[in-house]
Amino acid sequence: MGVNISAPYIYVCTRMRVRKAKLLPREEYMRMLNMSVAEITRVIEETEYKQEIDELGTAFKGIDLVEVALSWNLAKEYQKIQEIAPGTLKGFTHAYLRRWDIQNVLTILRGKVQGEKPGKIKEILIPAGSLDKVVLDRLLSEESNDRIIELLKGHRMFPVLAREFPAARESGSFSHMENELYKQFYAEILADAKAGIKGASAFLSYIQLEIDIKNAKTLFRLRVDAQTDEDVRDMFVAGGTLSINDFTSLDSIRDTNEFIDQLKVNFRNESLHALMDELKGQKGSISGIEVRLTRVQLEQMEKMSKRNPFSIHPILVYLEKKKYEVFNLRALARGKESRLPSEKIAEYLVM
């Protein structure tokens, strides 16, 4: 595997491991489940989020303060890591973070359709991809979605956007476009990873894992909302260890136990097998299953990063885990704000 033991690699990978160790532990979330939004804000103010919350504390309060602070912190973290990533790892980090372009553009488009204020949309944008703060601000200041798409001319997302947007506007649902964007994204980073750069094989193994898990999530989702008009083949992303055909044939199995057995046959992944064994015979909610699949992915990534301690893996593990920490805190804050019971919120947390 692409292991390169030179000082900058060791330096950055060690930093990532230490940062990962500083992420909030499970017990902390358990305690936060018993707290109010203000208390949660204060508790994270005493950790890595201090700078953002202090800076924003005069201008925002309540749930807005948490939301903005989390976004800022995540963006800052991502930018910082892009800066320090050494050698070829920098390129892989950029490639990995490009997914935020999709996320951001879709957030803006959806927000505009729902008539949200630009300020409100801005709170949850993460300027970490190739579109920076300035560009995102320009996009936000546009009134119509057509203009926004036009402004993105020249960006690698533009062809897909131009192709899919009219239909999406007609139907009012962006999910098909989202899917297409991600498919393009994965196709592109797969091409990057196969370009034969030093350390690319480690990156490739990660992308394949992610695509597999993403497809597995789609599988479970398809079993719940049984009827869709769309072609099932269209829903899966190509390029994982399993082909799209494998997934469609898996999808056609109706019996749950048989489905799970087949999944186990197809994947060589111990943590996934363990999860499948648990799922057998019990009916969990789809969000619960997704959270657990995410955990499987994180566990597997953790194993990979132990095997390749000075590769892209430690960086990716941290980036992913940090993302889920921010998601968790956001879910906690939003859940508390809308007075959901703790058990309900806990279901959405990736711990």
Partner 1 sequence: MLKPKQMSRLLIAASRDQMTPVVTELYRHHLFHIEEYVEGGKAGYEGFKIGTPLSGASEVSIDLLKIRAIENAVSINADDMDPAQSGTRAELKARIERELPVLANEVEELTQKRGKLENKVKEFEQKITEITPFADIPADLSVYRGYRDFTVYAGYVAKEVSLSVPNEMQFVKGKEKNFVVIVALSAQKGEVERALQEAAYQSVQIPDETGSPQERIRFYTEQAAALNKEIAGLSAKLDAVRQQHAGFMVACEEYLRAEAEKSEAPLRFATTKQTFVAEGWVPSDKVEEISAALVKATGGRVFVDVLPMDLEHDNVPVEYSNPQFAKPAQMLMDVYSRPKYTEIDPTLMLAIVFPVFFGIIVGDVGYGLIFLAMCLGLQRMMKGEDGQMFLKVLRNASISSIIFGLLFNEFLGFELTQVVGWVLGFGGVPNLIHGYAGFIMPSRHLLIGATEAGGHGPAIPALMIMAIWIGILHITLGRVLGMYNHAKQDHGEHRTKTVMANFGWLAVMWGILVAIWSNVAMPYMPDLTGLPVVAAGFTLGTFIGAALILVGVICIARDSVLEVIELPTIISHVLSYARLVAVGLSSVAIAMVVNYMAIGMFISPGMKELSIVGIVMIVVGLVIFLFGHTLNVALGLLGGGLHSIRLHYVEFFTKFYKGGGIRYVPFGMKRKFTEE
Partner 2 sequence: MAVEAVAVATTDLASIQASQMGMKAIGAGLAVGLTGVGTGVAEMGIGAAAVGAIAENKDFFGLGLLFTVIPETIVIFGLVVGLLLLF
Cα-atom radius of gyration of the chain, to the nearest Å?
20
**Of 32-51, which residues contact partner 1 (CB under 8 A)?**
34-39, 41-42, 45
Say whether 180 sits in a helix, a strand or coil. Answer: helix
5 binds, among partner 1, partner 2, none (CB under 5 to 8 A by kind): partner 2
226 binds, among partner 2, partner 1, none (CB under 5 to 8 A by kind): none
Question: Which residue in the set 2, 3, 4, 12 belongs to the binding site for partner 2 (CB under 8 A)?
Answer: 12
Residue type, 297: Q
Per-residue contact flags (x/-) with partner 1 for residues 324 to 343, judged by CB under 8 A: --------------------
State how far Cα 201 lies from the chain centre: 21
What DSSP string runs through 78-108? HHHHHHH--HHHHHHHHHHHTHHHHHHHHHH
Closest CA to 176 of 165, 186, 188, 185: 165
46 binds partner 2 (CB under 8 A): no
Q: How far is the CB of 287 from partner 1 (least distance, A)?
A: 22
DSSP secondary structure code for residue 24 in this structure? P
Nearby residues of 237 by Cβ (< 8 Å), 6 or more positions away: 182, 183, 186, 211, 214, 215
Query: What is the rounded distance in angstroms from the CA atom of residue 12 to the CA atom of residue 82?
Result: 11
27 binds partner 1 (CB under 8 A): yes
Question: Which residue in the set 3, 4, 15, 43 belongs to the binding site for partner 2 (CB under 8 A)?
Answer: 15
Of residues 11 and 245, the one with the C-beta less far from partner 2: 11
Q: How far is the CB of 246 from partner 2 (least distance, A)?
A: 41
**Of 64-103, which residues contact partner 1 (CB under 8 A)?**
65
Residue type, 250: L
Closest CA to 100 of 75, 134, 137: 75
Of residues 14 and 175, the one with the C-beta less far from partner 2: 14
Decide if 280 contacts 260 (C-beta within 8 A). yes
123 binds partner 1 (CB under 8 A): no
Of residues 13 and 190, the one with the C-beta less far from partner 2: 13
Closest CA to 82 of 130, 47, 50, 49: 130
Q: How far is the CB of 63 from partner 2 (least distance, A)?
A: 30
Query: Count of alpha carbons within 13 Å of 84, Cβ hemisphere only?
Result: 16
10 binds, among partner 1, partner 2, none (CB under 5 to 8 A by kind): partner 2
Of residues 67 and 77, the one with the C-beta less far from partner 2: 77
Residues that bind partner 2 (CB under 8 A): 5, 7-8, 10-15, 17-19, 21-22
Residues that bind partner 1 (CB under 8 A): 27, 30-31, 34-39, 41-42, 45, 53-59, 61, 65
